[in-house]
Amino acid sequence: MSGPQRRVAYGLGGVMVVFLVTHVQEAPVTHRWRLMTTPEWIERIVTRSSFRGVMGEFGNSVLPESHPVSRQVAKVMVRLINAAHDYPDPETGRRLNLFTELGKADIPLDEWRFYVIDDVAMGRPTPNAFVIGGGKVFIFRSILPICEDEDGLATVLSHELGHLLADHLGEKLTLSPFLLTLNMAMYSIFGSSRPGDILVNALLDTSFSREMETEADYIGLMVMSRACYNPQKAPRLWQNMMKFERQNGQTPPELLSTHPSSDRRFRNISEWMPKAVAVYSDSGCQQAQGFNSLLGGFSGFGKVSLV
């Protein structure tokens, strides 16, 4: 390599190093370091497109805001949002607004929208929930019996909120070009796209997705604890999910799944429980729950059916 070529190579290498260093970001709550290169405006385009797609498919099956189930979902979600706005990080001792911790714009409470999709009435029960950037929360009605109560519902919704707080959409969009490059490299070696598809989808893509799902479980558990939902009820949700999966034959091998198995999630949450209970206790939740129990069902403090 000649002198000019060497200088060009060093220059390009230096630019690449600077680019990577300046785009390494620490995830909130878990403090996991990852590469993030996706501009916020690209995420907004993706989320708008996703919202239009979901409403195009399910818009006619969304329960009205006045429906008791819709109001219950909104009530739980508002508590979780407020908790995420004032989260005392047990690792650093700092009080954080988790919505702005990554430099993103905050989402005012009055801009959030909550949609309950009545997939039961559609005859296509698909227990699921997700949060789209910009404050759009979707939950399928068929997951509510699995939740059983508000603590179970908070477990589901806080997990989905965890994806938003950790900006997993931006992380996935960051990974996409690297996975595409790997796929193209495999194609050039084998002359077929199939080996690359297998490697990217079965090993890398699913592995990254499981890591994000686990992170969302952890963030969600801490946020629901901060919101004074009982974290010790969270494992019950995954027990119910395991039962549902066994009954419906929906348990693919974890290696081939984008989500951790419900059994793995149950064990993870049990392992994290001491930290979650500490957040719950430090937030004064035990005293608050004692006061609420005295009120019983008065003024909406009692248990409300989710189904």
Contacts 24+ apart (CB under 8 A), 38-45: 38/169, 38/170, 38/171, 38/173, 38/174, 40/104, 40/105, 40/170, 42/173, 43/133, 43/167, 43/169, 43/170, 43/173, 44/133, 44/134
Q: What single-letter amino acid sits at 206?
A: T
Q: What is the CA radius of gyration of the chain?
A: 22
CA triplet 98, 33, 280: central angle to 5 degrees?
40
Contacts 24+ apart (CB under 8 A), 114-117: 114/65, 114/70, 114/73, 114/74, 114/77, 114/139, 115/58, 115/62, 115/139, 116/62, 116/63, 116/67, 116/69, 116/70, 116/73, 116/140, 116/141, 117/58, 117/61, 117/62, 117/63, 117/141
Q: What single-letter amino acid sits at 208?
A: F
**Antiparallel, parallel or unpaired: β 24-26 and 95-96:** unpaired
User: Catalytic positions, please?
Assistant: 160
If one counts every other C-beta atom within 10 angstroms of the C-beta of residue 131, the result is 24
* Contact of 140 with 126, CB cutoff 8 Å: yes
Measured CA to CA, the distance from residue 237 to residue 263 in angstroms comes to 11
